[in-house]
A and B are shown apart, each in its own frame.
Chain A
Amino acid sequence: MSAPILQVSQLTKRFGSLVALNNVSLEIREGEIFSIIGPNGAGKTTLFFNIVGLQKPDAGRVLFRGADITGKPPHKICDLGITCTFQVPRAFANMTVEEAVRVGAYQRYRGREVQRKVDEVLQICELEEYRHQRCCDMGLAPLRRVELARALATEPVLLLLDEAGAGLNPSELAGFMEILRRLNEEKRITLCIVEHVMQMVMGLAQRIVVLDYGEVIAEGTPQEISTNPRVIEAYLGKGAVC
């Protein structure tokens, strides 16, 4: 078993009286595809935001390769190699695809190297034909790939994807999953996917954690999860998986 790349221990986040995360602990291992599932409002997005530094937790710690990164600003965490994509694409609406990806590429490159990185990422994400299109003129499927490409351009070692498959049709989803699998195998990028689309979770993830009302209620392989009675009660029982 490989070493942990990210350890979240007893993370708690409150918004007023609402407890969005309650004592959440989990561990993501180097090189794996990890998944977090759970019903709406279970705290998945909040967890991501607290890991990448967009929000600061009220209690608990986040360790990246053993070093404490709790409460660091997002740009520092990005520099360390963790970044995320957003559930609702936060496109740089008035920028072209190439420009948007460039923003990420500047994280590690300067001068000519930037363009090389942009070209490489555009190719991986199959976006070359959209290169000069403005983000606000694009459909959802390519926009999801732009989000991915932007993040990839920063050369993360751990990439958090927040419902990146939502709203895609089956063939688009298959293409997207193929890209992710390749990234994981060829680039050795550790992936953590939050997802509603069970097809994607079950097809990709090696380990799954289930969140409900801000708490971890189960952990295991896809097979273990799909037969866990607590999970079925909290989540799968609602017919999310068929």
Chain B
Amino acid sequence: MGRIRKDPNLILLTALLGAALLLPLAIRSNQYALVLLTTILLYGVLATAWNIIGGLAGQLDLAAGAYLGLGAFTTGTLLIRWNVSPWLGMILGGLVAVGFALIVGYPLFRFGVKEVWYALSSAALVEVLRVTFLIWSQVGGPVERYLPYHEWSLYHLRFATYLPFFYIMLGMLVLALLVNHWIRQSRLGYYLMALGENEEAAEVLGVNTQSCKLEALAIYAFIVGVTGGIYACMYGFIHPNFFSGPMSTEVAILGIVGGLGVTYGPVMAAILLVSVRELLRAQLGGQLEGLYLVVYSVVLILIALFRPQGLGPLVRQAYGRLLSRVAKE
């Protein structure tokens, strides 16, 4: 059964990837559309990474902004100060994020901080970092720090168009999905799912829940940290507001709406919700500030209330039905 279902999935994914690769050709040099698409991809990457700690391991992490910001500041500062290529910078940024995650995560998991308290303490973390970087004037400060301008420099990862960032982000998304897929099939994945369902039951089956959670947190932080480096280059500056609480919450919401633990769920949620949000903003934002968010939050509440399992299973069902119909013919 697994094999039969996997193959059409693979075909579909390849088709989607192909379509995504060709998409910029269709919209040509429409920068607005490119930014929108890249933003969707960005949220897709973040939510897919979140799926590891939030979806599989069931730890409601609200600190995506913390890791994103650390990655962005590491990459940006290295580039501004020492002209270090962001390609190296983003890896280091990822590692800084991992280091921070481990330092914070170890006591949290050691002392058994769980559920709502884990969520809140991670949310607090984002704000702590934002204010710290706001005050720490050598690196942060209240003014944007701009990365050096280049028309087209691969070394500096600076381009006058968003097109390369679209492809880089697409690459990150594929990478994040592969990591997710790989974990889902591995021992770590099974352990995470088990402890996400019931920690004590997982413990007596030999799962070292503490170290599994730390591993999941580290992988998530790394992906988000690297993405932060790309994020900084894409926007061309770094600012303490990159440590964004609302963004962190939104990443978690995308993961929940996509369906916890469903590998491709968060991407679908990102495509759906981020484009809805941006379209609403484009349509309504001009006239009435906040209206698009009103509509958006209502959509969110309705999905959470009436589809508590998320959109993932829904799409899986529809797709399964479609497949069986195709198979019959």
Contacts and interface: CB of A to CB of B under 8 A. Distances in A.
A198 interface: no
Interface stretch (A88-96, A199-207, A222-230, A233-241): A88-96
Contacts of B202: 103
B129 to A, nearest CB: 32
A99 to B, nearest CB: 6
Contacts of B205: 78, 83, 103-104, 107, 150-151, 153-154
Interface residues of B, number: 20
Given A86-B201, A110-B187, A92 B194 contact: yes
Nearest to A136: B197
Interface string B174-211: 00000000000001001101100110111111111100
B69 interface: no
Nearest to B197: A92
Contacts of B201: 86, 90, 92, 150
A92 B193 contact: yes
A25 B187 CA distance: 38
Interface residues of A, number: 31
Given A54-B204, A73-B208, A90-B200, A106 B187 contact: yes
Interface in A70-121: 73-75, 77-79, 83-84, 86, 90-95, 99-100, 102-104, 106-107, 110
A77 B200 CA distance: 13
Main secondary structure, interface of B, reads: helix
A52 interface: yes
B200 A102 contact: no
Contact of A95 (B187, B197, B203): B197
A74 B206 CA distance: 7
A132 interface: yes
A83 B204 CA distance: 6
- Which of A52, A95, A151 has the most chain B CB atoms inside 10 A of its CB? A95
B229 interface: no
B318 interface: no
A128 B187 CA distance: 22
B204 A74 contact: yes
Interface of B: 1, 187, 190-191, 193-194, 197-198, 200-209, 260-261
Interface of A: 52-54, 73-75, 77-79, 83-84, 86, 90-95, 99-100, 102-104, 106-107, 110, 132, 150-151, 153-154
Give me the 3 closest cross-chain CB pairs, A-B, nearest first.
A78-B206, A74-B203, A107-B206
13 contacts: A77-B204, A78-B206, A90-B197, A91-B198, A93-B197, A94-B261, A99-B193, A100-B194, A103-B190, A103-B202, A132-B1, A150-B201, A154-B205
